[in-house]
Amino acid sequence: MRILMLAQFYPPVIGGEEQHVHSLCHALYERGHDVSVITLAHGDLPAKDNDNGVRISRIKSTTQRGGTAVFQTSRRHAPPFPDPAVVSAIQAHLTAEQPQIVHGHNWMLHSFIPLKARSNAKFVVSLHDYSLRCSTKKLMYMGETVCDGPRLDKCFSCASNHFGLKGPPVAGGKLVDGLRGTRRRRYVPACE
């Protein structure tokens, strides 16, 4: 089976989610699947790479071109809305590789959603945090109390407190996503 993973970070950029995606990619590859990853460019890592059979494409997103005034330099996250450069890279990959499964991790999934209707790929999402509902991904208001739900003024101030200048566009993207609703989304709990 041809599987495309969408993950904003991939080793050697490291963290728990990154390690999960890396392990999953290799487990699938070892079972005979054709596995590729589209991830964001970081530092001087090569644009195309092969990680023991897993093909890696590192792309520079539109939001990464916003400079350090808007996005931090060490870990440039995907935005919570479709990024034109990421959408374009995913479209090119879909055309060339024809994956049967697209597996989204984190906000990279937003750049596949506009392409889903034209793709024959099944779409799977792993929820590693609360990023589909919360700009800070933690469901904590100002990092101190459990959030009782989204509200325009509350989300903008909380996201600004957490992200600085990029807080308002992040919160705006999440609120627009929330307005679209979750009627067509189905969530299946992870099995042990």
In this structure, the answer to whether residues 97 and 172 fall within a common structural domain is no
- Any domain includes 169: yes
In this structure, the answer to whether residues 12 and 67 fall within a common structural domain is yes
Read off the CATH number of the domain in which 120 is found. 3.40.50.2000
Confidence band of 108 (pLDDT split at 50, 70, 90): confident
Q: Is the pTM of this model over 0.85?
A: no
In this structure, the answer to whether residues 11 and 87 fall within a common structural domain is yes
In this structure, the answer to whether residues 57 and 104 fall within a common structural domain is yes
Confidence band of 136 (pLDDT split at 50, 70, 90): low
How many independent structural domains does the chain possess? 2
Confidence band of 176 (pLDDT split at 50, 70, 90): low
In this structure, the answer to whether residues 85 and 148 fall within a common structural domain is no
- Any domain includes 189: no
- Any domain includes 190: no
**CA–CA distance, 5 with 24 (Å, rounded to integer):** 10
Report which of residues 6 and 16 the model is more confident about: 6
- Burial grade of 41 (CB within 10 A; 0-12, 13-18, 19 or more): middle
Judged against a pLDDT cut of 80, whether residue 80 lies above it is answered with no
Among 87, 108, 128, the domain boundary falls at 128
In this structure, the answer to whether residues 76 and 159 fall within a common structural domain is no
Task: Share the mean pLDDT of the chain.
Answer: 80
In this structure, the answer to whether residues 29 and 109 fall within a common structural domain is yes
Report which of residues 73 and 127 the model is more confident about: 127
The first and second tokens of residue 153, run together, are 């003024």
Preceding omega of 12 cis (within 30 degrees of 0):
yes
Q: What is the mean pLDDT of residues 7-13?
A: 88
Among 128, 145, 169, the domain boundary falls at 128
At 174 the pLDDT is 64
**CA–CA distance, 6 with 90 (Å, rounded to integer):** 9
String of DSSP letters for the chain: -EEEEE-S--TTS-SHHHHHHHHHHHHHHHTT-EEEEEEE--TT--SEEEETTEEEEEE--TGGGG-TTTS-SS--PPPSS--HHHHHHHHHHHHHH--SEEEEEGGGGGGTHHHHTT--SEEEEE--SSTTT-TTSS-EETTTEE-----HHHHHHHHHHHHGGGHHHHHHHHHHHHHH-STT----PPP-
In this structure, the answer to whether residues 87 and 156 fall within a common structural domain is no
In this structure, the answer to whether residues 70 and 156 fall within a common structural domain is no
- Any domain includes 191: no
In this structure, the answer to whether residues 119 and 166 fall within a common structural domain is no
Q: Which domain holds residue 146?
A: 131-184
- Any domain includes 100: yes
In this structure, the answer to whether residues 51 and 144 fall within a common structural domain is no
At 6 the pLDDT is 95
Mind listing the pLDDT tens digit for each residue in 16-52? 888 989 999 999 999 999 999 999 998 889 999 999 9
- Burial grade of 35 (CB within 10 A; 0-12, 13-18, 19 or more): buried
In this structure, the answer to whether residues 73 and 150 fall within a common structural domain is no
Q: What is the mean pLDDT of residues 115-129?
A: 85
